[in-house]
Structure 1
């Protein structure tokens, strides 16, 4: 297993998982950006073996490339690996354009390669509890979902590439993919239509092209409505501690379910009970996205926490939402590509 790019810290989680497993070996690591490379070397967190990606692929045989470069570079990096017959796992988003995603999908299918992604909300105990309650029919038919995944922007300390033109790819594509991936997994219903989406510069005049505000409105295939806000509006001094950090509220015909990643409970307000019910949490499955990626590579098809098809579908839906926001499109019906 080789690693390409460490410009987003999320990829270090994949590195840690790979180093902990007896069935994976890290054979090479590449960082082309000099300042990032020097910081990693000085910090001692990663041993960098290469400074050129193609040279690494030419000189070191590997079955998998893990990608954590800046968002705008990921698509090309992934495509280069796929052309060489190498499986890929990446931090989200895997790319920043529909054209890149179509090329990734085509190559992965032609060469029968797997695409993994760090969509780790699925592995969280509270998210798994939400799924169990919905699929047990305690809520009844899902009518509406609201989710917020607001982040602190941390302008001045967040990596500078975020604010370079062409590198970020949009806040919806950056953040909303977690919610867009989680909802079909939990409910069994996919996004059928993008009713509207908005992305705008609300509070960062220093970088007028960066859109820190991002909201969406979608309809699921059962008619349920989805509202989402993944803006960079959280005060930096609170970090990721606000209750609006990955808060999901699900309304069903028989009750309401709610949880947040920063609160300890999943609460059910059932039509059958006059008092709120605290639902016992699932155990959670840390790192299941990585384990499932490796199992899919080996040809397994059952019991996977996340699959290549799901990664590609969630990525495509989120890119279509970003496109709707960027171009003022409304009532965009989503159909699966052939």
Structure 2
């Protein structure tokens, strides 16, 4: 059976790869709701998917032939969309962050439990990065032993002129740790094989945008479990001269080696993206991961068909979201917006 899905919430460009990868994995897009807070996102969507029909939101929610709703709405609006979809009998994939408050996380958790529907977050810095797929395979094969520490760097280009108004309000996007650092928390839990973690420290700051004092352009987190620890740094300081939106990197320290991922660019080095550097007892190696297949989207579709949890473990998406929100609250309580 070909699964059918619809897109509701075209407010962030991440909706492009969510829709494209589901189609590539074999699903059929039945349409999209054209309501948006950013007409440029809608324009880009129509350019990429010119044959998809725009339909009213209620029509998409109420269509029993649609099994999945995907959403990259304004972050504060994502939980309500997801809950309505689940209550309509549909599984859900949303962009990160999945929520901006602990109350929203609790409501999502309750809706998923009551309906038996899947709530998944597309953590694109892992699920749409082929180097992460290679790293996952190497770690599973024991190439660096047991992962005991991760360092995740998530720099982004601000592109202030094209950002919508909600992007600068913490109550709508959640703050820099809730938003960006959710990626690195996801990676920490995944590569250290941890169900959850404790936040040791969290800090945020506004270093360069005094005219929007509530916004944060820098953030960091320390987290740990009984068997691993992690450091996270996220920021909005990618310079215009970098030929990518950010020099995202992930460092994995294992008991028998290390892995470094240069996800989007190898500065003044090899061309292209998806570079992995492996060091272990056998020596050092550069691996071009550009041909590595992405597995999250076909696994998600398999989970919808078979009611399994192969794309992400049950509850993982909300655990990551809860930890990110707690880190944000810890930073805010400490007066993190300098």
CA 1:26–1:258 in 2, change beyond 3 Å: closer, same or farther? closer
**Which residues of 2 match residues 241-260 of structure 1 at below 5 A?**
245-260=247-262
CA 1:25–1:276 in 2, change beyond 3 Å: closer, same or farther? closer
Structure 2 Cα separation of the partners of residues 18 and 259 of structure 1: 25
Flag structure 1 segments of 5+ consecutive residues without an equivalent.
Answer: 330-338
Correspondence for 2:122: 118
TM (normalized to structure 1)? 0.83
Count of residue pairs brought into register by the alignment: 321
Structure 2 Cα separation of the partners of residues 44 and 64 of structure 1: 23
SS in 2 for 1:236: coil
Correspondence for 2:279: 269
CA 1:192–1:295 in 2, change beyond 3 Å: closer, same or farther? same
Shift of 1:230: 1.0
Correspondence for 2:95: 91
Stretch deviating more after TM superposition (131-140 or 174-183): 131-140
2:165 matched to 1:157?
Answer: no
**Which residues of 2 match residues 201-240 of structure 1 at below 5 A?**
201-222=206-227, 224-238=228-242, 240=244
TM (normalized to structure 2)? 0.83
CA 1:182–1:165 in 2, change beyond 3 Å: closer, same or farther? closer
Shift of 1:308: 4.6
CA 1:157–1:79 in 2, change beyond 3 Å: closer, same or farther? same
Give CA-to-partner distance per residue, 1:23-76, whole Å, 9 cap, x none.
Answer: x3333311333762895399544556345x346434775322111111121111
Shift of 1:166: 2.0
Correspondence for 2:271: none
Q: 1:310 aligns with which of 294, 316, 331?
A: 316
Give CA-to-partner distance per residue, 1:225-271, whole Å, 9 cap, x none.
Answer: 211101112113425365xx22112223333322211235422333x
Shift of 1:298: 1.5
Stretch deviating more after TM superposition (147-156 or 61-70): 61-70
Structure 1 Cα separation of the partners of residues 241 and 260 of structure 2: 25
Q: 1:25 aligns with which of 15, 24, 28?
A: 28
CA 1:239–1:157 in 2, change beyond 3 Å: closer, same or farther? farther
RMSD: 3.0
